[in-house]
Structure 1
């Protein structure tokens, strides 16, 4: 079968352009094999990274049909099937007898060096910023090994599977709008350090990751990092676990992000859903303690009043008692899981 590859090409200081290449392929052919053939048979100037060809090194990360992935892992059949599902969900018609197209582009959120090769230095710098290794004091154990039980080691397995391919970083919309956010890859590794029984810097790490811009509260919970991770590390889940550790150590007065989470849960417990009249006042103005926050609500409040969209009353949702009992059961379970 023939497939047309639309590859976004760009030099470091040049404008991007799309170049087309047509190949005869089989359904099982990987995207990396296709790129190799284009380079070897049609255009030796095409630049991309590769190494292991076996989903181990993470070198061949790129955007394939709009999604960050490993070129050595994805094949023609899988991509065509995914594109067909997207067309069906969007209500688009069948492509008919047209030659299928594959769009290949470099990873996002990173500077372009050439074609599909990006500068990974910001990625590595943000990883270094969270100090994702066992503390020096934790390693200072003379004349013996630092042993872990199988249960302790098993807590690190999921985060340890990360191959640093950059797919999650590429898709992170929080990183796209906030250059201070360290990214999902770094915070997934940060949770590995928190969960490691050999480390002795838990409290200082949690304070570091509690930063509202660089740390866990910068995450927008879009789930894209979980969706594209080729190793099922689920970075957003790891970020959530760090948030849980922080929330357990602070009350609602500690910061706006912490107050946001605690007030949200409190209001849902009360009414089954959020009373928006209270939510903004309790979170942004800190129940009238934060005058600057209160004043920031004024423009939105005036617009809502003019549009007559300010509810005068609040009606709890049906099943509020059941919602409350579920939340309390989860909270009780979490409390039981905490080490004494």
Structure 2
């Protein structure tokens, strides 16, 4: 079949543009196969990274039709199926119903990193943020020669999911928290961080949790958008690992520790009480810390006045009819979390 590949072309610090290449392809060909064909047969100047071609090294991460993925894993047939599903949804919503009949593949570099050339990005920030979480086991056994540090199969199994990360950059590319906050270490780093928290050999768990309990760099900067989970080619589920770190921090801290910890604890408490959030109490308890934080209390004033003027300030609160069910669900989850893993 004939497919048009629109490839992002850019030299460092220049304005990018897309260049089109037409290929005769088989549905089973991977995107990386197609890029090789373009480079070897049509334009040798196209730049991209690749190595193993077997979903192991993570080198060929790029945005394929708007989604960060591995070029060696995605093939033409599956991508066309995905694009057709999107087109059908757009047609149903009357959005751009007159699409081109010839298939088009759009290939762009990973996001949140500057472009060096075409599909090759500078991953310095990616590696620096990984280094910031100190992703190495801290154990006295490392300093004792000729000694094994054994783990039970159960303890080792806690590391399986995070150990699958191949550092391809897909999650980092799609992270909107990283996009607005360059200090945020990113989902890849925090997934690796949880691996150390869960490792029975590591002797710095408490120090690590303190380091990860940061507003701008640590777990609380995550916006929980789920993009990292959706694009991870190895099913590491970085958001799930970030949530596990948060829970360990919450288990060790009270509501007076910080506003973001108070936010989480008050939210759960109010939902258990009323089935949903009483916004009046939520603002006072979180932002003003139940009138302990005068600056926080004063910051609520302008917002409260605007809401009153526009008739949007809730004067009362009516609990949900399903409050007992919601409470029982939350308590069931809390009981599961309290069980030893």
Normalised-by-shorter TM-score class:
over 0.9
TM-score of the pair, normalised by structure 2: 0.96
Q: For 1:192-212, what per-residue CA distance to the aligned partner results, in whole angstroms no more than 9, with x for missing partners?
A: 001101100000000000011
Deviation at 1:337, TM superposition (A): 2.4
Deviation at 1:136, TM superposition (A): 4.8
> Which residue does 2:135 correspond to in 1?
132
Deviation at 1:115, TM superposition (A): 0.3
Q: Distance in 2 between matches of 1:213 and 1:193?
A: 21
> Which residue does 1:65 correspond to in 2?
65
Deviation at 1:137, TM superposition (A): 3.1
**2:141–2:148 contact (8 Å) kept in structure 1:** no
**2:126–2:169 contact (8 Å) kept in structure 1:** yes
Q: Distance in 1 between matches of 2:98 and 2:198?
A: 49
Q: Distance in 1 between matches of 2:96 and 2:260?
A: 44
Q: Distance in 2 between matches of 1:307 and 1:136?
A: 59
Q: For 1:135-174, what per-residue CA distance to the aligned partner results, in whole angstroms no more than 9, with x for missing partners?
A: 1535234542101111111110100000000000000000
Deviates more, 1:133-142 or 1:296-305: 133-142
DSSP-derived class of the 1:47 partner: coil
Indicate whether 1:251 and 2:264 are aligned: no
Residue in structure 2 matching 1:164, options 167, 173, 181: 167
> Which residue does 1:34 correspond to in 2?
34
Q: Distance in 1 between matches of 2:80 and 2:232?
A: 20
> Which residue does 1:323 correspond to in 2?
326
- Runs of 5+ unmatched residues, structure 1: none
Residue in structure 2 matching 1:306, options 305, 309, 318: 309
Q: Distance in 2 between matches of 1:301 and 1:78?
A: 51
TM-score of the pair, normalised by structure 1: 0.96
Q: For 1:200-242, what per-residue CA distance to the aligned partner results, in whole angstroms no more than 9, with x for missing partners?
A: 0000000000011100001000000000000000000000000
Report the count of equivalent residues.
Answer: 338
The 5 Å alignment of 1:109-148 reads 109-148=112-151
Deviation at 1:296, TM superposition (A): 1.9
Residue in structure 1 matching 2:205, options 189, 202, 217: 202
**2:287–2:296 contact (8 Å) kept in structure 1:** yes
- Runs of 5+ unmatched residues, structure 2: none
DSSP-derived class of the 1:113 partner: strand
Change (3 A) 1:225 1:136: same
DSSP-derived class of the 1:274 partner: coil
Q: For 1:319-338, what per-residue CA distance to the aligned partner results, in whole angstroms no more than 9, with x for missing partners?
A: 10111112112222322327
